Amino acid sequence: MLTVTAEAPTRIDLAGGTLDITALSQVLDRPRTVNLGINLNAKVSIKESEDGRFYLHSLDQEKEWSGLWGDLQLAVTLPLFAHLILAAWREEWPGLVIESECQSPAGAGLGGSSCLAICLTQALHQMAYELGLGKTYSEVELVRLVQNVETKLIHCPTGCQDYWGAIRGRLNVLSFEPQGTVVETIETEDAGALADSMIVCYSGRSRASGMNNWSIFRSVFDGDRQLLDKLNQIGGLARQMADKIQGNRWQDVIELSHQEWQLRKSLWPEIETLETKAIDQAAIDAGAKFSRVCGAGGGGVMAVFVDKKKKQHVIQAIECAGGQVLEATISDSGLDVRVQR
């Protein structure tokens, strides 16, 4: 039986998160967003159903849904999947069995749901192509479709960095030109020093960051000049980081991420939780340079930066403070689609 599988990495934002939201990037002064694909992957597999129905199963969320095409619009279980099927599939085409799994915890701030959305949509496109029903799509078309569906579903503007982190993996610098987003992807062998300095850990408490982004977006367009100035400062730090990446100045990259994080905390006092604060303090006391909560508006996963020789000591401190160290490193590839007959 024809089976299509799509797998992609999640991402850690190093600088310039939030600035990638459509429209917001165009009122700022040449902002950049820098992110790092990590191998906490999302995976989706698709095959035809035998009875024309749609079967959705999320292994990590332990959720299931089944129904006919006409039921998808009202699906309250796995609604993102249902809406993506409505956007990328057709009523007259076969029913599908869809199974998904994400290694990133829900609400981690790693863009896991957006990564799953990229995997599902690309798998749907590939399945349609293999069946002789559809065509192949460009990266830009894929991002546009998924971003529009997610925006419709959550009723607030979304950024694009999660999608590009999933599609490209590795290290990405996003620029927001009038003609569209430009993505420069740096190979992982050039960023080995950055990988050696990073620990990824989970605080044990997930949280959603989308509404933090929405409050920022709304305030900017309501005319908050002080906020606009701070966002331009964040954009400037991300721009400097992009320059340092070009020169393989990885310690400078880490320091600029630290400076960006200090600014970000001043915008969102609630971006840290009691759990992440405790882990941060334990890591700093053990010799870490700094830590940051992942996700533009805060999530449950943290990236901790430390000298390589102190790494094991800091890991022990994180675990003693209640953190779960995740086996994650920089991904060396992006979205991967496989077809099996």
- State the total domains in the chain: 2
CATH of the domain at 287: 3.30.70.890
For 169, the 3-state DSSP assignment is coil
Beta-strand relationship, 54-58 and 324-326:
unpaired
Residues 161, 213, single domain; the answer is no
Q: Are residues 215 and 298 in the same domain?
A: yes
Let me know whether 141 and 79 are in one domain.
yes
Residue 177 domain flag: no
CA distances from 38 to 191, 195, 252, 290 (A): 12, 10, 21, 19
pTM of the model: 0.95
The mean pLDDT of the chain is: 94
Written as one letter, the residue type at 78 is L
* Residue 315, SS3 per DSSP: helix
For residue 66, being part of any structural domain is answered with yes
Nearest to 163 by CA among 137, 183, 136: 183
pLDDT digits (tens, 9 = 90+) for 245-268: 999 999 999 999 999 999 999 888
Is residue 174 scored above 60 in pLDDT? yes
Q: Distance (Å, rounded) from C-alpha 206 to C-alpha 105?
A: 7
pLDDT for 305-316, tens place per residue?
999 999 999 999
Strand partners, 12: 36
For residues 131-138, average pLDDT: 95
Residue 240 and residue 111 share a domain: no
> What's the CATH code of the domain at 57?
3.30.230.120
In terms of residue numbers, what domain contains 199? 184-326
